[in-house]
Amino acid sequence: MQIEDADYVIAGGGSAGCVLANRLSEDSRNRVVLLEAGPGADGFWNRMPAGGMKHLGNAERDWCFMTEPDPSLNGRQGFWSAGRMLGGGSSVNGMIYIRGDRTDYDDWASTLGCTGWSWNEVFPFFVKSEAWSGKPSQTHGTTGTLGVSEPRLKHPLARTFVDACEQFGLRRVEDYCAGDVDGAFLMLTTQANGQRSSAARAFLDEAMKRPNLEVLTGAIVDKVLIKNGRAVGVQFLRGGEVQSVRCRGEVIVSSGTLNSPTVLMRSGLGPAEHLREHGIDVVRDMPEVGRNLQEHASFHSVFQVDIPTYNTMMKPAVMAREFVKYLLANRGLMTMIPVEAMAYLRSRPELERPDIKLSFGLMAHDHATRKPQKLPAVVVFANVAKPKSRGEVRLRSADPTDKSVIDHRLIGHRDDIAALIAGAKKIQQLFTMPALAPHVKGPLMPSPLPETDEQWEQAIRNSAGIGYHPVATCRMGGDDASVVDPRLKVRGIEGLRVVDASIMPIMPAANTNAPAIMVGEKGADMILQDAKVPA
């Protein structure tokens, strides 16, 4: 079955895909089709901030990827959640709003040949998306549709953590959205009036009323149809039936870091030998497709404190009360975010930039049982800010319903494990600072507390997990080997782009949802610009 031809076909309705669908359909002359494998993102549970957690592990709304055994994690397999619904990760994530540091993007432009992607050039696209509800600010926008705000629920220990960081020698950063994350600060969130502002709600709710935008959910993208070196459509599965949509303009792959490379591979674009192994005709040998995978390794430390924290509120009577509070006023525990403060620090004083990211939360879990800690507790997640470890994504088969193979070495580089060891030890020191120390009753995890670097390394390799920030499997670059050029065009194929977090050449030192939305904004702008230029 073939549906009506379109000017633009977007393969994937995640954070970037929702932005693309909105911006490309603003011109009523453009017919746009958006294909999403999962369901929609409407309904109460998708508006309530804490409701997103209900989707994790639900195969209808979460891709529920499992990695290959990872030698750097002592052979453990990792469970990698990824949003499988309109809005993608923004519909299930922790709603943390952070852009990264200006040096992240300046490096893309100056070192990696990504012309047009410096901080000053991407900054307007962050601002463009925003419907900022705080005090007037030159670094925030108010005319966009993405709700960005201070969290409604603020625990006093979050500010205490920032105070302790300052006592530890870190800078207090007043406006981390200005491109400076070198220090400690309180977090902003993608919420509007106490409700989750997913990319689906922010960019699609109103756009879907346009007659020139068609959104098809339950549509599993198989491959891009390529004829004579040009993308001419997309083939997908829906309701058990093979369907296709022809494209007279551009096909945009926006299926996310873990799926976009396999869409390209099934289309004949990827490592030639790997494609032939799965019986796929090679359209163009592109060895970099699926490679360069980066992810934030995350190691958590938990401390018992003397003040009630959110995990101690996980009791039926309290939850019922908080649920009613949310129903009446969009306030209370149901608006919580998992990270209320962050800090960036150096594992070694001679480093020019911070290499460790700390995320401070008031919802601590027992690592063994996965259940909330029964004692009042806080958690600090340590990440390598810009990991050097790499992995890859491959095809399991040519069947689009088969999940991608994720073969990563989460802590495969010695510099990464060294940074995590240093970060974990500095967390212990940080909690002895005068601001925090009176509230700390003792460490809960890791247990027992390591005493040597070798013991720290084993504790990290035995329990570290992901930060839910995979990037770079369809990397952008100025070199011919890169998958896409700086205008996000797939090299060697006309009418085809990749626009999502997979194009990031190096991970920003940040959570990746706001950067992914920026990529969607900038990608849409480039597509519309190029459409005005005579061929």
> Domains of the chain: which residue ranges?
1-148+190-294+391-406+465-535, 152-186+297-386+412-463
Of 294, 288, 287, 298, the residue nearest 258 (C-alpha): 294
Q: Which of 422, 423, 420 is nearest to 411 (CA)?
A: 420
**Helix, coil or strand: residue 96:** strand
**What does the block give as tokens for 238?**
């829906």
How distant, in Å, are the alpha carbons of 2, 83, 175, 293 from that of 100? 42, 22, 12, 19
For residue 370, what are the contacts with CB-CB under 8 A and spacing of at least 6? none
What are the angstrom distances between the C-alpha of 64 and each of 79, 249, 278? 7, 33, 23
Q: What is the pLDDT of residue 534?
A: 63
**Cα 6 from Cα 4, distance rounded (Å):** 7
Look at residue 453 in the predicted model and tell me its pLDDT.
97
Residues 34, 215 contacting (CB under 8 angstroms)? yes
pTM value is: 0.97
Q: What is the pLDDT of residues 100-130, one digit of tens each?
A: 999 999 999 999 999 999 999 999 999 999 9
The C-alpha atoms of residue 153 and residue 447 are separated, in whole angstroms, by 30
Q: Is 55 a catalytic residue?
A: no
> Which of 55, 140, 439, 469 is the catalytic position?
469
DSSP state letter for 372: B
What is 152-186+297-386+412-463's CATH number, 1.10.10.1100, 3.40.50.720, 3.30.410.40, 3.30.2270.10? 3.30.410.40
CATH number, span 1-148+190-294+391-406+465-535? 3.50.50.60
Q: Name the stretches of the chain with pLDDT < 70.
A: 1-2, 534-535
Supply the pLDDT for residue 52: 80
d(CA 187, CA 529): 34
Q: Is the CB of residue 123 less than 8 Å from the CB of residue 111?
A: no
pLDDT of residue 535: 52
Condensed to tens digits (0 to 9), the pLDDT of residues 481-517 reads 999 999 999 999 999 999 999 999 999 999 999 999 9
For 45, counting Cβ atoms within 10 Å of its Cβ (0-12 exposed, 13-18 middle, 19+ buried), the class is: middle
The answer to whether domain 1-148+190-294+391-406+465-535 and domain 152-186+297-386+412-463 are alike in fold is no
Distance of CA 387 to the CA centre of its chain: 15
CA distance 344 to 231: 43
> Which pLDDT belongs to residue 366?
82
CB–CB of 268/260 below 8 Å?
Answer: no
The 10 Å Cβ neighbour count of residue 111 is: 11
**Residue in the block written with tokens 């608006």:** 335
Provide φ and ψ at 324, rounded to 5°.
-65, -40
Q: Where are the alpha helices (DSSP H) in 43-182?
A: 44-47, 102-111, 119-129, 156-167
190 contacts 327 by C-beta, under 8 angstroms? no
